[in-house]
Amino acid sequence: MSSHNSILCCARKSKSTLAFVFTLVFISQSSIKNTFKSVAAAFFGVQKNSNRKRDFAQGKATHFIMAGIIAVLIFIAVLIMIVNLIVPT
C-alpha cells in the first residue's frame, strides 16, 4: 500500500484535480480487486497467510461481507444454470 500512498501524496502536491481523481479511482479499483481476490481465495480455501494478514490489517469487514454475499449469489446462479441445462424440463 505504500506505493499507493506515495502516488496519492504526489497527486495532492501537484494540485491537479484530474491526477487526484485518477489516483482515487485507481486505489479504489485496486482495493476492490484485492477484496474480490481474497474472497475468491477464501471461497476455495487457498488463501495465503500473508494475504490474510494484509486483509485483517487493511481491509474493512463490510467490504468482505458484501463481496462474500455477491460471490455466493453468483455461485448459486451458476449452479441453477448448470442444473437447468442438465435436467430436462
Instruction: Count CB-CB contacts under 10 A for residue 78.
Output: 10
Cβ-count burial of 55 within 10 angstroms (0-12 exposed, 13-18 middle, 19+ buried)? Answer: buried
Q: Comparing 48 with 7, which gets the higher pLDDT?
A: 48
pLDDT band with cut points at 50, 70 and 90 for residue 6: very low
pTM of the model: 0.59
Tell me which residue has cell 481465495.
Answer: 41
Least confident of 14-23, 27-36, 78-87: 14-23
CA 65 to the chain's CA centroid: 11
Closest listed residue to residue 63, CA positions, set 79, 88, 39 = 39
Mean of pLDDT values over 46-65: 84
pLDDT at residue number 81: 94
- Sign, Cα dihedral of 45, 47, 49, 53: negative
